[in-house]
Amino acid sequence: MDLAYVREHPQHLRTFLTHQRIRETPVEGGSICRASRLTFDNGESLFTKEWPSGSPPEGFFAAEASGLRWLAETQTVAVPEVLVQTDDLLGLAWVEPGEPTPQAAEHFGRSLAGLHRTGAAAFGAPWPGFHGSSPMDNTLHNGPWHTWYAERRLTPYLRASVDRQALNSADMRLVERVISSIGADSDELPARIHGDLWTGNLVWGADGQCWVVDPAAHGGHRETDLAYLQLWGGAPHLDRILAAYQEVFALADGWRERVKLHQLSMYLLHTALFGAAFAPGVRETAAAVRQ
């Protein structure tokens, strides 16, 4: 078995994993899935993701595969090829890891700008989405962005966070004030975005490129991707990424003041998924949103 065979017969990978000797090495793959590097006899490798136990939510791996293909078809950012997609497994071309360099960061900034410039037909996507393990409402919506963002991203994650008692009533009122204050001055046409572009979803390759993985891809606001790049310490060489991006697709006035507004959706997602440990992030971010 080799990559050529996998491309031709992706449905057979599970059988070969069970009945044929393939070297399997665990790798870091995030907090949700079990990730492995499969190495064939000829030295070629494949990256796989599997649900850790039981069955994944319906459409989970299909959503990720659809997002990867949707990003890749623009021929802008580097995206691993989807080789295997089943209900319980995703197999991607292996990206040999390297080190982040200023040159790779600048190339990534320009490529990301190119991705966003391709645009999207509407906000949302033609497939049911997931952000992490949380369902993400991708129902297509013509906008404006501030209405869509409030209804389809902030409000659902806020409700889920309150329901699991990760946020209290004061937190809920604080976020609701932010939601009610979002105005048309923040609107843009839908861009084709990665949707979960924090630094953990960047793979700096040995080939000198920055590859993007684990998307929650959809038509959204391009500033969301850029705001997420600044979370939790930020991407390596972030200033180089942003400067190169601006050279290709200049951001609208006031984008820096809107960073917290875009980051709020990520913090609400985390309280919805993981509980009160992320509540301080929601409070601090919501309080910092310009109203």
Q: Are 62 and 85 in contact (CB under 8 A)?
A: yes
Give the DSSP letter string of 213-282: -S---EEE-HHHHHHHTTSTT--TTHHHHHHHHHHHSPPPTTTGGGHHHHHHHHHHHHHHHH-GGGHHHH
Q: Is 87 a catalytic residue?
A: no
The active-site residue, picked from 2, 87, 137, 196, is 196
Closest CA to 160 of 184, 127, 195, 136: 136
Question: What are the residues whose beta carbons fall under 8 Å from the beta carbon of 67, sequence distance 6 or more?
Answer: 125, 127, 129, 194, 195, 215, 216, 217, 218
Q: How far apart are CA 110 and CA 76, in angstroms?
A: 9
CA-CA-CA-CA torsion sign (238, 241, 246, 252): negative
Known catalytic residues are: 196
